[in-house]
Chain A
Amino acid sequence: MSVLQPPAGPDAAGPVPFLSRLHEWVTTVDHKKIGTMYIVCGIIYLIIAGLEATLMRWQLTWPGMDVLTPEEFNRLFTMHGTTMVFFVGMPILLGSANILIPLMIGARDLAFPRLNAFSFWLFFFGSLLLYFSYFGGQGLYGMGSAPDVGWFAYAPLTERTFSRGHSTDYWILGIFVAGIGSTATAANFIATILGMRCRGMTLMKMPLLVWIMLVDSVIILLALPPLAAAQILLLFDRLLGAHFFDAQAGGSALLWQNLFWFFGHPEVYILILPGFAFVTEIIPVFSRKVIFGYPLMVAATVAIGFISLGVWAHHMFVVGLSPMLNTIFMGSTMLVGVPTGIKMFNWVATMIGGRIRFDTPMLYATGFLCQFLLGGLTGIFLATVPFDWQVSDSYFVVGHFHFVLFGGLVFAILAAVFYWFPKVTGRMMNETLGKWQFWLLVIGFNITFGAMHVSGFLGMPRRVYTYHTDRGWDFWNLLTSLGVIVQILGFALFALNLVHSLFKGKKAGDDPWDAWTLEWSTTSPPPPHNFEEDPVVHSRRPLWDLKHPDDPDWKYE
């Protein structure tokens, strides 16, 4: 086994046959390829879950429509939520971190490249297993069906008595399998960040994206295993007749809520922290200023990581916890607003006085700031117990978390895609299309989810399949659904832009944005070994030092 095949590359004569290209991708252990596969899968699932949402909005456009049956509607909102969280958010953030962490810290690959491939394939097959439930949910004998218990799968709805067939089991197993992968990736990231930084990169000289991903990985490590454990308890309830969540035998449905949200709320931070990370890298580059308050950003990230593990019961204010518990969790939830506010101010302070260039990445980053601020503020509303009692499980909550996860995370992801696409593919994305898409999305997004806040205030509960015409919700639901059309236009432009730029985009060069972190010092796309020579850094912005030797950063750190 000592004779090694050189990797099939572009130097091979003629176009590489499809099969050998496929073979190259499925056997790869290269962090950049794995990251790309994560992101491509994430975008495919984004389209699927987006279509699921579109179907639901079609059904809710007008009172009493019957586009979908109630059962189909239940499956759709379950699959939409589950897919968006586990198979869109997670893979895109893990994929981006996969590509960026080694490049930013000047390493050749992740600490455990094969484990990394294993994690990706676990996610891939796990997600297929969940979607296989559409065919196999009732067993292979009759019509299949997908899970219909909501993305947080509250007991006792998930018990055998109420959820016949295997659909809930598919939900458990698909997420369980993918979750093993995510946990392993988190360990991989931590080992990479702590052990493989290049010469001179002390912890306090790491790019903030790397810092944030370090904290994010720690949260993943602490929050995903409890979900796996809770899912196993549920699986035992369903398959072996255990009684954990079976109230008739003394079990407790409330325990499921506690266990699920102990995972579920940190999960929200797991998703949004990489969003913060992207924006934190993009805003300084396009403001032509150094990030404001680097140490404070690190401290705020760590603080968010800690606090996020202690706020889960704010999802359970309406179940009747003791007033003391409610107050404690209200306090801890509001506390998260402090480090998040620090970050917000630091971003704005970075922009102030800067020579801002509104290229598409910056446009999306600015959009992120505005949308996320609104979502964060309604989050503070919801943290207040009496307010939460009023609007819990209404469309107000739906509007809130879409402002955070769509207006926040998706805008940050789009900023990241526009920013790092040149590095990964070697070609620029089209600016004009990107700007059209941005404005379509901003308009469509605010119409859709802004209107949801109002219908929530008017008392419309989430997850209803239809509603009567006399509640005053008609107009707001119509508005919500109309906004979807605008968003679809935006995303269609995005798909067009991706495909077009991949083949016809302008050549990017190594450093199209005149940026400062290490990934821009290598070629676009980077070679398999990332760097010809091991980089050496003296400050947080190594490329700044090289570009401006007369005024280098290391003098100030």
Chain B
Amino acid sequence: MSTTPPNEKSHGIELPQPTAGPMICAFGLTLMAAGIVTNWIVAVAGFATFVAGAINWFRNANPDSLEMLATPAEEKPTPIVPRPGSVDHLVGDATHRARLPMEIHRYRDGMIGGAIGGVVMAIFAVVWGLISHGSLWYAVNLLAGTLLSGVTDMSMEELRAFHAEGLVVGIIIQLVMSIAVGLLYGVILPIIPRGTLLFAAVIVPLIWSGLTWATISVINPALGAHIEWLAFIASQVAFGITTGWWIIRCGKISTMQNWHYLDRFGFETQGKGGGS
């Protein structure tokens, strides 16, 4: 600390004197409260105690009479040693105040990647339905069961059949979920320190499958009844690989953290510097 013009009086640091007043006051007040539930004499005693404490307090608090001078402590604080050059920078030429990540993916890339991954996953699921149950519409109908309650009661035969509303609802669910998850991928991937593609292709699909496993019977009973987990996980991995690959392929842009605030607001200005 730099030495400051001391604003204490010349004789040292003044501290308030210890006093029992506050404690006596508090005890009196508590006795007064206790008097309500015991005996009025307790309350009277409490009041007397309170007054005694208040007088003590008042006299102690009188600014002219009592202040205690602090005795200089024997132990002095260890001086703080400057350690120049000991600051590690987070990123290359950036400062230690940089906000990580310095570079992020475009939201747009995340959403497009999600959509592409969703299409790949849908193709995978439909092909699987064709192979194992001989129907293009089997997987679509099961997915639509998330919103269409009728699917729960369908027989195997009906599940294999074509349902227009099943197709529409299925496509909507697949697109919305894929784009949302793709967006999340785009936001999260730059934060992952290493093994980004592994994270995107394997770990997230496994987490997602676990979440589905725990909640499927509530969210989509039809799918829960007919689901084949290996195929399900494989389709999730297909999504993960495609989306992750797309997002990583699209590259990153740097955040606006080093921009001038005018640039961040999108003003066209001269000579303010600014980012990419």
Do A and B touch, yes or no (CB under 8 Å, in the complex)?
yes
Q: Is the CB of B100 within 8 A of A527?
A: no
| Binary flags per residue of A528-539, CB closer than 8 Å to B gives 1, else 0 | 110111111000
Nearest chain B CB to A472's CB is how many angstroms away?
Answer: 18
Q: Is B149 an interface residue (CB 8 A)?
A: no
Q: Is A513 an interface residue (CB 8 A)?
A: no
Contact of A551 among B4, B29, B95 (CB under 8 A): B95
Q: Is the CB of B16 within 8 A of A181?
A: no
| Binary flags per residue of A210-252, CB closer than 8 Å to B gives 1, else 0 | 0000000000000000000000000100010000000000000
Q: Which residues of B contact A393 (CB under 8 A)?
A: none
Q: Is A57 an interface residue (CB 8 A)?
A: no
Could you say which of B33-41, B170-178, B235-243 contacts chain A? B33-41
Q: Is B17 an interface residue (CB 8 A)?
A: yes
Q: Which residues of A contact B33 (CB under 8 A)?
A: 129, 173, 176-177
Q: Is the CB of A536 within 8 A of B4?
A: yes
Contact of B77 among A28, A523, A536 (CB under 8 A): A523
Which residues from 163 to 194 on chain A have a C-beta closer than 8 Å to any C-beta of chain B? Answer: 166, 169-170, 173, 176-177, 180-181
Could you say which of B62-70, B119-127, B154-162 contacts chain A? B62-70
Q: Is A7 an interface residue (CB 8 A)?
A: yes
| Binary flags per residue of A517-557, CB closer than 8 Å to B gives 1, else 0 | 00001110001110111111000001100111111010010
Contact of A527 among B3, B20, B73, B96 (CB under 8 A): B73
Q: Is the CB of B19 within 8 A of A29?
A: yes
Q: Is A140 an interface residue (CB 8 A)?
A: yes
Q: Which residues of A contact B80 (CB under 8 A)?
A: 511, 521, 543, 546-547
Contact of A533 among B3, B57, B82, B95 (CB under 8 A): B3
Q: Is A457 an interface residue (CB 8 A)?
A: no
Q: Is the CB of B22 within 8 A of A353?
A: no
Nearest chain A CB to B143's CB is how many angstroms away?
Answer: 26
Interface footprint category on A: 35 or more
Q: Which residues of A contact B13 (CB under 8 A)?
A: 108, 529
Q: Is A290 an interface residue (CB 8 A)?
A: yes
Q: Is the CB of B61 within 8 A of A177?
A: no
Which residues from 318 to 355 on chain A have a C-beta closer than 8 Å to any C-beta of chain B? Answer: 349, 352-353, 355
Q: Is A467 an interface residue (CB 8 A)?
A: no
Q: Which residues of A contact B18 (CB under 8 A)?
A: 7, 24, 27-30
10 CB < 8 A contacts A-B? A114-B19, A121-B23, A121-B27, A125-B26, A125-B29, A523-B73, A528-B15, A534-B7, A548-B82, A556-B97
**Interface residues in chain A, defined as those with a beta carbon under 8 Å from any beta carbon in chain B:** 1-2, 4, 6-7, 9, 11, 24, 26-30, 108-109, 113-115, 117-118, 120-122, 124-126, 128-129, 132, 136, 139-140, 166, 169-170, 173, 176-177, 180-181, 199, 235, 239, 288-290, 292, 349, 352-353, 355, 509-511, 521-523, 527-529, 531-536, 542-543, 546-551, 553, 556
**Interface residues in chain B, defined as those with a beta carbon under 8 Å from any beta carbon in chain A:** 1-4, 6-7, 13, 15-23, 25-27, 29-30, 33-34, 36-38, 57, 60-61, 65-66, 68-78, 80-88, 90, 95-97, 99-101, 191
